[in-house]
């Protein structure tokens, strides 16, 4: 008999960059398919999965604004980029025979559903993956904020932030070989040590609502499942 998973409902945050693989831009279908398989395993275990996808592989509002574009317009492009990633992820999940619904915080009739809290909850309960795209629907926010917001709304047990590194380190592990990987941190410790977990708006939202954050390496095969099974994987941040 398998040990019981430590989470019942999760909010998984995938950055746009996680989808682009080696390419440096756009979407790598191989990566998408691998992630779809890993998510499928969770669904088969009875875990309810909400997904927030970033858009940084396509557009970032701030980058466009730094180059002279109006920030609000740039952020709207960024939010639409997250919808494109969401469409690609929904397609990958459907091809893996995983029932999935794509919602957008911005109305896009004919393309996907508009975000609706009550529908999202009932879809999650019936075993559908729900992808929350277009971030919060507002400029000047990030998809990390969207992940914490949706995570709190759907009463997820944790926000799982997929990254390219194993978790939160005391220093940049690429530059400092002595950098230490933390297994557990409190919200307070993250703020005191000024550790980079996510932007402050997202982080304080999670803290104020006691939403645990778990940072782990999505490039490491099996890491997502290890996190779910309560193994010593990644860094957990809570109170
Ligand atoms: N964005 C936004 N509001 C939100 C979420 C995202 O305006 O609530 C825009 C913003 O321009 C951002 C872009 O969408 O740069 C892509 O999101 P993000 O940078 O968070 O993606 P990630 O870094 O996770 O790939």
**Bridge partners (DSSP) listed for residue 12:** 51, 160
- Please tell me if the CB atom of residue 12 comes closer than 6 angstroms to any atom of ligand 1: no
- Please tell me if the CB atom of residue 60 comes closer than 6 angstroms to any atom of ligand 1: yes
Predicted confidence at residue 25, as pLDDT, reads 86
Predicted confidence at residue 96, as pLDDT, reads 98
Phi-psi label, residue 104: left if phi above 0, alpha if psi -120 to 50, beta otherwise: beta
1, part of any domain = no
Q: Are 84 and 53 in contact (CB under 8 A)?
A: no
Is 136 known as a binding-site position? Answer: yes
Q: Specify the CATH number for the domain of residue 144.
A: 3.40.1160.10
* C-alpha of residue 72 to centroid of ligand 1, in Å: 12
* pLDDT(103) > 90: yes
- Please tell me if the CB atom of residue 55 comes closer than 6 angstroms to any atom of ligand 1: yes
113, part of any domain = yes
Pick 131 or 2 by higher pLDDT: 131
84, part of any domain = yes
* C-alpha of residue 44 to centroid of ligand 1, in Å: 30
Predicted confidence at residue 190, as pLDDT, reads 96
50, part of any domain = yes
Q: Calculate the average pLDDT of the chain.
A: 95
Which of these ranges, 15-19, 86-90, 123-127, 178-182, has the smallest mean pLDDT?
15-19
Take residue 231 and report the two structure tokens written for it: 């193994």
Number of domains the chain contains: 1
* C-alpha of residue 75 to centroid of ligand 1, in Å: 7
> Which of 79, 83, 133 gets mutated to test ligand 1 (max ligand atoms within 8 A of its CB)?
79
pTM: 0.96
* pLDDT(2) > 60: no
- Please tell me if the CB atom of residue 135 comes closer than 6 angstroms to any atom of ligand 1: yes
For residue range 158-175, what is the model confidence (pLDDT) as tens digits? 999 999 889 999 998 889
Query: Among 7, 5, 82, 15, which residue's Cα sits nearest to residue 218?
Result: 15
Predicted confidence at residue 57, as pLDDT, reads 94
For residue range 190-200, what is the model confidence (pLDDT) as tens digits? 999 999 999 99
What's the mean pLDDT in 40-45? 96
Give the containing element (helix H, strand E) for 162.
Answer: strand 158-163
103, part of any domain = yes
Q: For residue 53, what are the domain limits?
A: 9-238
* C-alpha of residue 153 to centroid of ligand 1, in Å: 19
**Percent of the chain at pLDDT above 70?**
99
Predicted confidence at residue 101, as pLDDT, reads 98
For residue range 124-160, what is the model confidence (pLDDT) as tens digits? 999 999 999 999 999 999 999 999 999 999 999 999 9
What's the mean pLDDT in 48-70? 94
Predicted confidence at residue 1, as pLDDT, reads 47
CA–CA separation, 67 vs 61, rounded Å?
Answer: 10
Task: Report how far apart, in Å, the C-alpha atoms of 9 and of each of 124, 192, 214, 223, 227 are.
Answer: 8, 30, 13, 17, 13
């Amino acid at each position: 008999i398998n040990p019981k998973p430590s989470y019942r409902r999760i909010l998984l945050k995938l950055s746009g960059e996680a989808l682009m693989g080696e390419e440096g831009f756009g979407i790598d279908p191989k990566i998408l398919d691998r992630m779809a398989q890993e998510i499928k395993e969770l669904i088969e275990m009875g875990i309810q999965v909400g997904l927030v996808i970033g858009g940084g592989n396509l557009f970032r509002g701030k980058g466009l604004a730094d180059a002279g574009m109006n920030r609000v317009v740039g952020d709207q492009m960024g939010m639409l980029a997250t919808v494109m990633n969401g469409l690609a992820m929904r397609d990958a999940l459907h091809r893996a025979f995983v029932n999935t619904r794509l919602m957008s915080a911005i109305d896009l009739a004919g393309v996907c559903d508009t975000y609706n809290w009550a529908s999202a909850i009932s879809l999650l309960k019936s075993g559908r993956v729900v992808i929350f795209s277009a971030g919060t629907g507002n400029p000047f926010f990030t998809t990390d904020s969207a992940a914490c917001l949706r995570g709190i709304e759907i009463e997820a047990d944790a926000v799982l932030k997929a990254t390219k590194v194993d978790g939160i380190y005391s220093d940049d592990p690429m530059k400092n070989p002595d950098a230490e990987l933390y297994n557990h941190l409190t919200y307070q410790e993250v703020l005191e040590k000024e550790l980079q977990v996510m932007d402050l708006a997202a982080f304080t939202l999670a803290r104020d609502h006691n939403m645990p954050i778990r940072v782990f390496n999505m490039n490491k095969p099996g890491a997502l499942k290890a996190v779910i099974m309560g193994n010593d994987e990644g860094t957990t941040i809570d109170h």
